Amino acid sequence: QQLQALAAQVNAAAKTDWRAAPLVPGATVSGPNIAVSNPADRRETVGQWQAADSATVERALANAVAAQDAWNATPAASRAAIIEHAADLMEARMPMFIALCTKEAGKTIPDGVAEVREAVDFLRYYGQQARKLFVPEALPGPTGESNTLQLSGRGVFVCISPWNFPLAIFAGQIAAALAAGNAVLAKPAEQTNLIGYAAVKLLHEAGVPEAVLQFLPGDGATVGAALTKDPRVAGVAFTGSTDTARAINRSLAARDAAIGVLIAETGGQNALIADSSSLPEQVVKDAISSAFTSAGQRCSAARVLFVQDDIADKVTTMLAGAMAELKVGDPGLLSTDVGPVIDDDALKMLRAHAERMDREATPIATVATDNEAAHGSFFAPRAYTLNSLDQLHQEIFGPVLHVVRWKADQLDAVIDAINATGYGLTLGIHSRIDETVEKIAARVKVGNCYVNRNQIGAVVGVQPFGGQNLSGTGPKAGGPHYLPRFTTEKTITVNTTAAGGNASLLTLG
Ligand code: UN1
């Protein structure tokens, strides 16, 4: 009932005609208005945005450099209070943000709730952490001197975020960078500018100075590449494809001046391993939720179900039965399980993959729907049995689950195959044998391992999220080591003997 009431508020908010444009003090924005269409019905325009041109990007960078020192000198507790105030405002405006997620990103209402929740959690988490992190720490040393370790912001940060978590990851990166004392240039994904704009406006309203947080919608070359190669940028927080992370890394490394820091969260080829001791009903329930929630557009999503052959027939039969119950359609309806995919490029990629799978693999099920022929970017969830993981050459970012069967003596080979993908984000394990769980968890190189449950929906502060190797640089978002990465350390050593004179007054703490 509560969800019904929320859905009514969301659908009322969804009638807004949204706008977005660069938020850069002193810049004149003159670009054309670009229409945003609803992924669930391309005939519907939900808003307009304007891109930042090179002059606007340059102006933003100059503003950020000028604003950096004062923001860094603002007490961490004051920065935290502003960010926590933004969390309160966002929570109070949940229906509007969910409506944006539904209309611009095609998210279902439950996904929209989770998205806003996660964004609010990130704001509060980094705010709270900043209150503790910037307290100067006295370090032990010889008598006659005092040693103090002090953290501060690194400098101007660029935050480049993905369309699949257009509010949570966008706000999370920005909150961490701001809390740490860095001025931020925020570049949203090109598919989700309206959401990014609303989030930045809200942070300004909460008290973040306009030159400290600037909004730069636009293309990767004009905004992203121009910024990451500029030595005035101290660091980049990026979530997106592994290839783009590589390009950013090269660009940061190639600069003549200061080496920039990269915090990247990238792709996955996430597996779920089920052995013959697992409960087939549970395996199917968790596989469906992990593979098809958010139309499979999570980097945490399960892509490959490795199921032991003793239970494989039962699992695939039940999987087909459960998939028949899924409803693909309008994300604004509470009855919808799977909304549209983000855009027609995603649709094209998924259709090409399905065509290849129809030829090279054994179809288990395709969810029946009329929507694939309708006016939105709809792609019905599908499942296939593969002969081996080698048939999957790349991450498939959408609602496709691949099933691979294994025999009792092949568990090590399964683990080796997963590690050989080079990705290491999430892993699901379904087994009721402790030794098996321990062995798999110890050997598979991933960031987030989930046992006998689904493998999506990492909660801020509870399951810090992020992977290894091709899946990212770490540290994990929503974990205790993330915020320190946005900071730089300074030690101050003071001679406290009489010879040190008044300098001893410098000792902190
Ligand atoms: C992503 O898909 O980019 O575990 C991150 C989850 C989210 C994080 C996913 N909290 O589903």
Q: What is the mean pLDDT of residues 440-466?
A: 98
pLDDT, one tens digit per residue, over 9-48 is 999 999 999 999 999 999 998 889 999 999 999 999 999 9
Confidence of residue 500 (pLDDT cuts 50, 70, 90): low
Distance from the alpha carbon of residue 458 to the mean position of ligand 1, in angstroms: 6
Which has the minimum average pLDDT: 149-163, 213-227, 366-380, 403-417?
366-380
Asked whether residue 134 carries a pLDDT value surpassing 90, the answer given is yes
- Is 170 close to ligand 1, i.e. is its CB under 6 Å away? no
Mean pLDDT value of segment 49-70 = 98
332 and 376 Cβ atoms separated by less than 8 Å = no
* Centroid of ligand 1 to alpha carbon of 115 (angstroms): 10
| DSSP secondary structure string for all residues of 457-474 | -PPTTTS-B--EETTB--
Kindly give the distance from the C-alpha atom of residue 162 to the centroid of ligand 1, in angstroms, as a whole number: 11
Beta bridge partners of 184: 157, 213
Pocket probe for ligand 1: among 299, 423, 463, the residue whose CB has the most ligand atoms within 8 Å is 299
How far apart CA 55 and CA 5 sit, in angstroms, is 45
**With b meaning 16 or more CB within 10 Å and e meaning fewer, what string describes 280-298?**
beebbebbbbbbbbbbbbb
Higher pLDDT, 374 or 62: 62
**pLDDT score of 505:** 53
Ligand 1 near 288 CB (within 6 A): no
Q: What is the pTM of this model?
A: 0.96
Quick check: 430 and 452 in contact, CB under 8 A? yes
Asked about 159 being catalytic, the answer comes back as: no
Q: Which alpha helices (DSSP H) does 397-480 contain, by range? A: 411-420, 434-443
Q: Which pLDDT score, from 0 to 100, does residue 504 have? A: 47
Closest CA to 459 of 437, 476, 441, 445: 476
Q: Could you tell me what percent of the chain has a pLDDT over 70?
A: 98
Mean pLDDT value of segment 480-486: 98
Per the residue annotation, which of 104, 115, 118, 299 is the catalytic one? Answer: 299
**Active-site hit among 205, 265, 395, 489:** 265
Residue 231: phi, psi to the nearest 5? -65, -10
Give tens-digit pLDDT for 237-289. Answer: 999 999 999 999 999 999 877 778 999 999 999 999 999 999 999 999 999 99
Ligand 1 mean position, distance from CA 184 (Å):
22
The answer for residues whose C-beta is within 8 angstroms of residue 320's C-beta and 6 or more apart is: 364, 365, 383
Mean pLDDT over each residue of the chain, to the nearest integer: 95
pLDDT at res. 509: 41
Q: Say how far apart CA 87 and CA 117 lie, in whole Å.
A: 10
Ligand 1 center from residue 3 Cα (angstroms): 22
ipTM of this complex prediction, to 2 decimal places: 0.93
Tens of pLDDT, residues 142-193: 999 999 999 999 999 999 999 999 999 999 999 999 999 999 999 999 999 9
For a ligand 1 pocket test, name from 286, 298, 397 the mutation site with the most ligand atoms within 8 angstroms of its C-beta. 298
CA distance 87 to 92: 9
Q: Is the CB of 458 under 6 A from ligand 1?
A: yes
Report helix, strand or coil for 200.
helix
pLDDT for res 372: 81
Q: What is the mean pLDDT of residues 329-340?
A: 96
pLDDT at 73 over 60: yes
Q: pLDDT tens digit string along 268-281?
A: 999 999 999 999 99
Dump pLDDT digits (tens) for 174-188: 999 999 999 999 999
